[in-house]
Structure 1
Amino acid sequence: MAAVNVAEIAEAVKAAITAALDGWAEAFDADEVPGVTRGDTPGADTPQRHATVHVLRTDLNAARRASGEVSIPVLSLRVVSHAESIANVREIRRRVCGALEDVALALPSGGTAGPFVFDLAEDEDDDDTGWFGVDHFTFA
């Protein structure tokens, strides 16, 4: 089985989300968000509306991990939507789900990632940067 390239998958996810946001907001890796401390451009202004993409390898069956049984890893995606209002966070989340749910994305190296299956939504909340909401997906 070929190694999973999570960076390549993250790029495809960011492109799909950014297209769905249609210039209204943009998707980034967490360390790419302009203005974020320890990010690529810490001195820049952080965009009010954006989504951060986090792709992770997971095995959701803890018993199987301990058994030594060989399994195909599940991949998980966490998308954190950020905006200046709860209404705009909800709009970003709606567009993210529309771009990803039950969709398989083509990868530059060939093959696909997905289809993405919606797993869990966390309530919107606020912090010192504004409002945010988190959506979780699984895929293979």
Structure 2
Amino acid sequence: MAPSGAVFYGVYDILKSAYLHSPEGRKRIQHMKQEGEKLNALEQLELGPIRTLLYGAIAGACSEAATYPFEVVRRHLQLQVRATKLSAIATCVKIVDQGGVPALYAGLTPSLLQVLPSAAISYLVYEFMKIFLKVEST
């Protein structure tokens, strides 16, 4: 959970910060300051709704890809019989020996199809609620 969250929030923050410091991002922030309360909540999103969804999806994909091998090893550990149970490292080595490094990513595509919409919507709701509840960004 911790590595997944770290990658998820870290990637989103990096993408958001890079955009907000770009000429296009600075122009958007300046426009938002000038228009002030004339803007509706979706128009007040610092990144805009599409970019917020996109960056959330990218952050979710990076998080899933970075931590997916741990999930594969965990599932293999759960399926082992107590009498022949291997350690996590031995299980990982066995998986790689049998199927190569790609075996650690078996099933990643269906997992991404589940994670991407969820991650994108999570960030859109998060950013929208900051505006709705008038929470200042730091």
What TM-score does the superposition give when structure 1 sets the normalisation length?
A: 0.30
User: Higher relative CO (CA 8 A, sep ≥ 6), structure 1 or 2?
Assistant: 2
From the CA coordinates, give the structure whose radius of gyration is larger.
Answer: 2
More helix by share: 2
Higher strand share: 1
